[in-house]
Amino acid sequence: MKVIIVGGVAGGATTAARLRRLDENAEIIVFERGKYISFANCGLPYFIGDVITKKENLLVQTPKSFKERFNIDVRIMQEVIKIDRENKKVKIKNLKSQEEYEENYDKLVLSPGAEPINPFKNIQTNQIHTLRTVDDSVKIKEYIKNKHPENITIIGGGYIGIEMAENISKQQNTKITIIEKASHLIGPIDEDISVIVEKKLKEKGINVILKNGVKDIKQENERLNIILENGKILTDFIILCIGVKPEAKLAKESNLKTNEKGSIIVNQYMQTSDSNIYALGDCVQVTNYVTKKEAYIPLAGPANRQARVVANNICGKNGSYKGTIGSSILKIFDYTLGITGINEQTCKNNKLEYQTIIISPYSHATYYPGATSITIKAIYESQTGKILGAQVWGKEGVDKITDILATAIKMKMTAYDLSELELCYAPPFSSAKSPVNILGNAIENEIEGLVENITWQEVKKLPNPYILDVRTKAEYELSHIDGVQHIELDTIRENLDKIDKSQEIYVHCHTGLRSYIACRILKQNGFKVYNITGGYSFYKMSKI
């Protein structure tokens, strides 16, 4: 059996290695048009930021190491330019010699990845860059080091844009601006969580411009004039992080089926419309595991899992790819943002019956030094409590909690399952009732009618809400919302006559736990009450 793989990095290289482990006798050829067969593209911003100091540390494999370990023929700087499906051949161009030649195949694997979106290719300047390859990162790093630009503008406020802003700001005495056309940063999260991210960036001196797209870029002497939909700014250097699009030109020219956005359409076995041709990674259309709808989710983790499916099926080991959840994590200075499943907008677009809840537990037992607050926003099915998505923000423990919730989504678990999870506990690491258990309990309480929750966003839309603060006197005096009524939780029973029973009451404490207790007391005394989820800590974080 002869297998040709187009493209290396996460998808192609992983497929090749798995194929060899399954079949020692297969002839495997990997064609990569770049210089590197396998590199850590997720590490590129950290190389620019000098967290990773050596370029060589980004190189996972080389053609020589691949040959020695796996007996795989890797041909770099060689591009597959045509597929002859009828005769099962590909045409290759050697980018060094410009020579063209053909190779036949039994099975063909397409893993060309995605390319950065760049609407400004017509502008000839070394002051505008995209980030995809190791060479791209070297060019950006060298320009900043040698030219010392006073102003750097990042167009696009997604994962890469945020990572670039952090890494550049740590090592350069420069003004950084992020421009994002959408209403908030990081599309997969909800606006109320994105506001916290925006606030953190501003605290670090990064300017953020939202709801303002870029219409044009013009050279103005030695600077660049960015023409916005509303206004303009001058800058010295631009990094385009607008997003990526599937690189499916070869597939389209071979009449393989693609969707309207250009992604290659594959079945659950990762086969294209030609059963002898497979495709995977950032170039393919996937199924969103939660909504069961078609989606485009370009992430390294799914590409690696798809590679295993491809190799298994080529070697006769039946396997299928069941969809992508979209789990991801992002370092933002001394904080971490974890994302898994779907957000509120996706729920609305798919007309799903959902509820949200925000809790603010601590990372570990508070009596052990160093405990920090974690914000967890969960999205769940209204009737069943099935977890649909989550966004987690904090200094420590975010990765652990996000991974547990990603597993919960994959296994179609409900809030009741979260409540029953038996997770590791010792004071330095968690609490006897972990944040995930607390989340499950909180959702259970709402489903069972013990409490009605409301978010700060919803409260802010009310004309004149009656807000009750049940924190301690010291907490209230330190900081509070103007115009709210304050009664400490422990004195609430003896002060029921001071609360207006004719009104709907919106109760908050610091994190949401004491306000839940207050709601139970008040509800059983005939009051109409709502618990404001996330508490005052979330109010302060999300208020810019």
Say whether both 472 and 521 belong to one domain: yes
Mean pLDDT for the chain overall: 95
What is the predicted pLDDT for the residue at 8?
87
Residue 287 maps to a domain: yes
Angle of the 159-171 helix axis to the 191-203 helix axis, nearest 10: 10
Q: Do 416 and 401 sit in the same domain of this protein?
A: yes
Specify whether 194 is located in the same domain as 151. Answer: yes
How far, CA to CA in Å, does 326 sit from each of 65, 189, 290, 340?
Answer: 32, 11, 10, 6
pLDDT tens digit sequence for 353-385: 999 999 999 999 999 999 999 999 999 999 999
Residue the block writes with tokens 């006197």: 473
Residue 47 domain-assigned (yes or no)? no
* Mean pLDDT computed over 298-306: 94
pLDDT reported for residue 497: 96
Rounded distance between C-alpha atoms, residue 96 and residue 91, angstroms: 15
Q: How many CB atoms lie within 10 A of CB 521?
A: 16
Q: Token pair of 537, please? A: 């800590």
* Band of pLDDT at residue 171, cut at 50, 70 and 90: confident
The proportion of the chain whose per-residue pLDDT surpasses 70, expressed as a percent, equals 100
Residue 321 lies in a domain: no
Alpha carbons 127 and 434: distance in angstroms, whole number: 49
> In sequence order, which residues have a C-beta less than 8 Å from that of residue 512 and are 6 or more positions away?
358, 359, 360, 442, 531, 532, 533, 534, 535
C-alpha to C-alpha distance for 458 and 441, rounded to whole angstroms = 22
Copy the structure tokens of residue 392: 């987690």
What values do phi and psi take at 497, rounded to 5?
-70, -15
Tokens of 25: 């006798």
Domain boundary among 396, 418, 447: 447
Residue 236 and residue 281 in one domain: no
Mean pLDDT of 90-96: 97
Rounded distance between C-alpha atoms, residue 391 and residue 386, angstroms: 15
SS3 186: coil
Owning domain of residue 263: 2-39+54-113+245-314
Confidence of residue 316 (pLDDT cuts 50, 70, 90): very high
Residues noted as catalytic? 42
Residue 250 lies in a domain: yes
Strands 453-454, 232-235: pairing is unpaired
Domain match, 31 and 98 both: yes
Q: What average pLDDT does range 98-112 have in this prediction?
A: 97
Shared domain for 155 and 98, answered yes or no, is no
Q: What sections of 254-392 are H helices per DSSP?
A: 300-314, 344-349
Which tens digits make up the pLDDT trace of 1-44? 999 999 988 899 999 999 999 999 999 999 999 998 888 889 99
Please report, for residues 131, 196, 332, 450, 507, the alpha-carbon distance to residue 164 in angstroms, rounded to integers and kept in the order given: 10, 18, 10, 45, 40
CA 250 to CA 31: how far, in whole Å? 13
Q: Which of 288, 314, 340 is the last residue of a domain?
A: 314
Residues 427 and 464 in one domain: no
121 within a domain of the structure (yes/no) = no
Q: 469 Cβ partners below 8 Å, 6+ apart?
A: 476, 480, 481, 484, 485, 486, 487, 508, 509, 536
- Do 236 and 288 lie in one domain? The reply is no
- pLDDT of 51 > 90? The answer is yes
**Number of domain units in the chain:** 4
pTM, rounded to two decimals: 0.94
Q: What is the CATH number of the domain that holds 530?
A: 3.40.250.10
The pLDDT value recorded for residue 37 is 87
Instruction: Please list, residue by residue across 535-544, b when 16 or more beta carbons sit within 10 angstroms of its beta carbon and e when fewer do.
Output: bbbbbebbee
Report yes or no on 44 lying in a domain.
no
Residues 233 and 267 placed together within one structural domain of the fold? no
Q: What is the mean pLDDT of residues 73-90?
A: 97
Query: What is the rounded CA–CA span in Å between residue 281 and residue 305?
Result: 9
- Please say if the pLDDT value at position 498 is more than 90: yes
Please tell me the predicted confidence (pLDDT) of residue 323. Answer: 97
215 located within any domain: yes
Place of tokens 């925000």: 358
Q: CB neighbours (10 Å) of residue 57?
A: 13
Whether residues 389 and 338 share a domain: the answer is yes
Contact 113, 7 (CB under 8 A): yes
Shared-domain flag, residues 19 and 78: yes
Q: Which of 394, 428, 447 is the last residue of a domain?
A: 447
Together in a domain, 150 and 232: yes
Give mean pLDDT, residues 240-256.
96
Q: What is the CATH number of the domain that holds 205?
A: 3.50.50.60
The side-by-side arrangement of strands in the sheet containing 27-32 is 73-76, 27-32, 2-6, 107-110, 277-279
Examine residue 203 and state whether it is found in any structural domain, yes or no.
yes
d(CA 119, CA 163): 21
pLDDT tier at 544, thresholds 50, 70, 90: low
